[in-house]
Amino acid sequence: MTDTSHTQLEMSPAEKKKKAARQSIKRSSRKREQQERQATGRGRMAQPVAVRSTETSASGIRTFSVSRYVLGYVVSGTKYIWSGDMRYEVCAGDVFFLSKGVHYVEDAPDSRKPFEQVMFFYSSEQIGRIVAQLNVEYGIDIVVCHSCEECLARDYVIAPGWSTVKHFFASVRQQLKEGYFEDNAAAGMLSLTLLVYYIVACPEGCLRTRVLGSSDPEKELIERLLQNYIFSKTTLSELALVNNRSLSSFKKKFKDYFHQSPHKWVVGQRLMHARLLVISTKKSTAQIGTECAMPNTSHFIRQFKSMYGTTPMEYRRAYKVEEAARVETDEFSYDDDPIVE
């Protein structure tokens, strides 16, 4: 028998749980990173990644799963971010921030141009190095005084672009079209540094708060643990072990960061995903509940109704009626408003 086998036999039940939780989290993290690589077309994720994407037709509601933070800019068209049962618009010229995890988005072109966006994917370590560089090398005193429900409780921020940042993204867009960032490891970091400087040089606000907050490695770890936990069988106690905390300490730290209990946050995330499946698929209530880690159908229906005021199937019927009315209105507006060249 090898030393390794002997060590495994000597592991305590708590250590076995901790090891199993870590393996589960690693599998989820690798899956999300693989999805992000496919979305960005990049094989390596060591440096910040700049991406330009376009859509010539409406994409429909889809999941956008990211293992790193995202700073983006809508060049043309409209991006919709779904949160709960609300849909928020990111118009052309707006800047948006997305935290790690699963988002529900819809990219729609306008009547004259395709949808186009430019995005930077980055980690807390990278943003931390940028903030330290701006502080130490350039003497920029970076503090965060602003906080509100919008920037603390939500996993996204939308802000109108200003002239400096609009010129910045116009330049990055052109560089991406010319292949400037390909095989140029320093380009992403240099461009992201300049973008962060433009953001921290602005007055206090939600965008500035969230970007600077994404440099907190402890918060990032807890956020990543919970994002990977949403649809897994890992328990909160096991997550606390992975975080080297007691369960009570883990819950307290999570509440300090996200202003609600881990359980409430996870249930909310599961129900948000369930709502997306309700309106974008033909799956049954039981199938959706199981897919969202809520296999008890009766319990799932009660939770859904508590959050959205109606059962999943009633919500689906009401959404179809509302969507049909909206499409009819959009078609009328399109015909009534001729394209201006």
Tell me the DSSP string of 152-213: HH-SEEEEE--HHHHHHHHHHHHHHHTTTTTT-HHHHHHHHHHHHHHHHTSPS-HHHHHHHH
Mean pLDDT, rounded, for 123-143: 84
Same domain membership, residue 281 and residue 190: no
Q: Which of 84-88, 219-223, 271-275 has the highest mean pLDDT?
A: 271-275
Same domain membership, residue 317 and residue 194: no
pLDDT tens-digit profile of 310-324? 999 999 999 888 877
pLDDT tens-digit profile of 252-289? 888 887 778 888 888 888 998 899 889 888 999 999 99
Window from 7-16, 113-122, 289-298 with minimum mean pLDDT: 7-16
pLDDT for position 33: 52
> Does 19 fall in a domain?
no
Last residue of a domain, one of 182, 200, 215: 215
Q: Which of 27, 211, 185 is nearest to 131 (CA)?
A: 211
**CATH number, domain containing residue 205:** 2.60.120.280
> Does 3 fall in a domain?
no
Same domain membership, residue 195 and residue 87: yes
Same domain membership, residue 202 and residue 62: yes
Contact call for residues 118 and 172 (beta carbons, < 8 A): yes
Q: Which residue has the tokens 């992000």?
A: 36
Mean pLDDT, rounded, for 132-140: 82
Contact call for residues 208 and 202 (beta carbons, < 8 A): yes
Same domain membership, residue 142 and residue 50: yes
Contact call for residues 154 and 82 (beta carbons, < 8 A): no
Q: What is the DSSP string of 251-286?
A: HHHHHHHHSS-HHHHHHHHHHHHHHHHHHH----HH
Q: Which of 92, 94, 73, 96 is nearest to 171 (CA)?
A: 73
Q: What is the DSSP letter of 220?
A: H
Question: Nearest 5°: phi and psi at 62?
Answer: -145, 160
pLDDT for position 178: 93
Same domain membership, residue 173 and residue 55: yes
pLDDT for position 327: 61
Alpha helices in the chain (DSSP H): 3-9, 13-40, 124-136, 149-153, 163-177, 185-200, 206-213, 217-229, 236-242, 247-258, 262-280, 285-291, 297-308, 312-336
Mean pLDDT, rounded, for 57-85: 90
Residue 304's domain comprises 264-332
**CATH number, domain containing residue 268:** 1.10.10.60
pLDDT for position 288: 94
Number of domains the chain is built from: 2
Same domain membership, residue 211 and residue 268: no
Q: Is the pLDDT of residue 335 over 60?
A: no
> Does 298 fall in a domain?
yes
Q: Which of 124-128, 144-148, 164-168, 244-248 has the highest mean pLDDT?
A: 164-168
Q: Is the pLDDT of residue 329 over 60?
A: no
> What is the rounded end-to-end Cα distance, in angstroms, of the chain?
78
Contact call for residues 217 and 202 (beta carbons, < 8 A): no
pLDDT for position 6: 47
pLDDT tens-digit profile of 139-197? 887 877 887 877 766 889 999 999 999 999 999 999 999 999 987 878 999 999 999 99
Q: Is the pLDDT of residue 341 over 80?
A: no
> Does 206 fall in a domain?
yes
> Does 229 fall in a domain?
no
Same domain membership, residue 278 and residue 206: no
> Does 104 fall in a domain?
yes
Q: Is the pLDDT of residue 301 over 70?
A: yes
Report the share of the chain in percent with pLDDT over 90. 38
